[in-house]
Amino acid sequence: MSNVLRLAIVDPNDQSRETLKTMLLGMDIVWLDAECSRYEFFADVVLQSKPDAALISLDGGPDRAIVLMDKLRSSSPDCALLAVSKSSDGQLILKTIRAGVKEFLPLPLDVEELHSALERVLQLKYGGADGKSRGCRIIAIAGATGGVGCTSIAVNIGCNLARNAENSVALVDLDLALGDADVFLDLIPDYSLVDVTENASRLDFQLLRKSLTKHSSGLYLLPRPVQLQDLELITPDGLRKVIGLLRASFSHVVLDISKSYTQVDLLALELSNEIILMVQLDLPCLRNMVRLLMSLQHLESVREKVKVVVNRVGLESGQISLKKARETIGREVFFQIPNDYRTMVEMRNNGQPLTEQAPKAAVTLAVQQLTDLLAGVQIAPKQELEKPTDRSTANNWLSFWPGKAGQKAKVK
């Protein structure tokens, strides 16, 4: 599933190919997977890069272009064909349609027309009759203070999503200086965010996957830079490209952002569909939460997406009640995750996700339920969780729990 159409183009004329490329690169619904200047080689290019669609210019030799289309129809039947030409000759248009072309676009191209044609192809490929929505969901996990549980939750949401065969999931460690997602997953990556950022404009889909490290759950990890000296190489522009690339290739991207709220972190929030803001029920954390929410309030593209998740509910010492917390932060708590230090530390130290480390623990079930909510999967009626030890917390438990008994919750 993807919200981006992966496209390969062939046009023997360098100048018109460049014009076409410039137009396509400005469209967020297209990922230019491959380009070719020879009709003879293009069928092999398509076989290798497996794009969603092929855009063929007819003007470098209409007859050879038609032969190519016939070939593509049998060698890459899943690849949708689009044709462009200066000619408006009815016979030629008829031939391309017979050769299986879905869209014929006259040159010079009208941007709107091209965009609509690409959207129609995208709709045909991914907006199937089952009504399933296409599109990559980007989920950012942010925290109101250090050690609030962001990486623990980001890693497990990533693994939970990746276990579903319908999903393809990447986790990006944006805690650039001290990120430890690789430790949680017990992975030793070959490449980091620096490599992918530096090569973003040259990577194709196969190379991108090879640059990421695959976990046994199916999750792909893109870790933080190795050297502190490399941190400055990760710029907002670079991150935008990397996320564009991931968005075109994965159904879900999970971002474990840093607590520094740098320009890179803020861009990550801006590009996300969901923002989980993790908090614990202690005074410094709640105070930071209020400051953060006030700051994010000014960012139009961010404020609506923030969902407050309380971690370590039930931890006794120095805890503030959920009721008080809700009054303080002035908004609903989207989800609660119970306190279970032993399970969480073992999970990290053994480099095993919760579903393997402690499949039946309340904290595992809670994180699974949070994953389902974020994935838009309907959740089962109220789930039995360990009872919080804090009385005031216990009193408010149900009123904050999404999907109370008998109800079904769904995230839009």
d(CA 119, CA 46): 20
Given candidates 76, 145, 151, 192, which one binds Mg ion under the rule CB under 5 A?
Answer: 151
Alpha carbon distances (Å) from 62 to 11, 50, 141, 347, 410: 11, 23, 52, 61, 51
Tokens of 190: 């070959």
- The residue (of 149 and 225) whose beta carbon lies closer to ligand ATP is 149
- The residue (of 33 and 340) whose beta carbon lies closer to ligand ATP is 340
In the bound complex, what is the minimum distance in angstroms from residue 248's beta carbon to Mg ion?
27
CB 175 within 8 A of CB 314: no
Tokens of 56: 């063929």
Answer with the entry of ligand ATP, Mg ion, none that 96 interacts with (C-beta below 5 to 8 A by kind): none
Strand partners, 37: none
Residue 145 touches Mg ion, criterion: CB under 5 A:
no
- The residue (of 87 and 260) whose beta carbon lies closer to ligand ATP is 260
Output the residue with the shortest Cβ distance to Mg ion: 151
In the bound complex, what is the minimum distance in angstroms from residue 184's beta carbon to ligand ATP?
8
- The residue (of 54 and 367) whose beta carbon lies closer to ligand ATP is 367
**Interface residues for Mg ion in 73-132 (CB under 5 A)?**
none
CB 17 within 8 A of CB 43: no
Answer with the entry of Mg ion, ligand ATP, none that 259 interacts with (C-beta below 5 to 8 A by kind): ligand ATP
d(CA 397, CA 161): 26
Size of the site for Mg ion (CB under 5 A): 2
In the bound complex, what is the minimum distance in angstroms from residue 370's beta carbon to ligand ATP?
11
In the bound complex, what is the minimum distance in angstroms from residue 349's beta carbon to ligand ATP?
9
Relative to beta strand 137-143, strand 274-279 is parallel
Closest CA to 28 of 137, 128, 118: 118
Answer with the entry of Mg ion, ligand ATP, none that 341 interacts with (C-beta below 5 to 8 A by kind): ligand ATP
- The three-state secondary structure class of 345 is helix
Q: Which residue has the tokens 């003007």?
A: 59
> Which residues in this chain contact ligand ATP in the complex, by CB under 6 A?
143, 146-152, 175, 259, 311-312, 337, 339-341, 344-345, 348, 363
In the bound complex, what is the minimum distance in angstroms from residue 334's beta carbon to ligand ATP?
15
CB 172 within 8 A of CB 246: yes
- The residue (of 179 and 314) whose beta carbon lies closer to Mg ion is 179
Alpha carbon distances (Å) from 80 to 12, 56, 99, 302: 20, 11, 11, 36
- The residue (of 151 and 369) whose beta carbon lies closer to Mg ion is 151
In the bound complex, what is the minimum distance in angstroms from residue 373's beta carbon to ligand ATP?
17
- The residue (of 150 and 253) whose beta carbon lies closer to Mg ion is 150
E-strand stretches of 195-317: 213-214, 220-222, 252-257, 274-279, 306-313
Q: Which residues are at the interface with Mg ion (CB under 5 A)?
A: 150-151
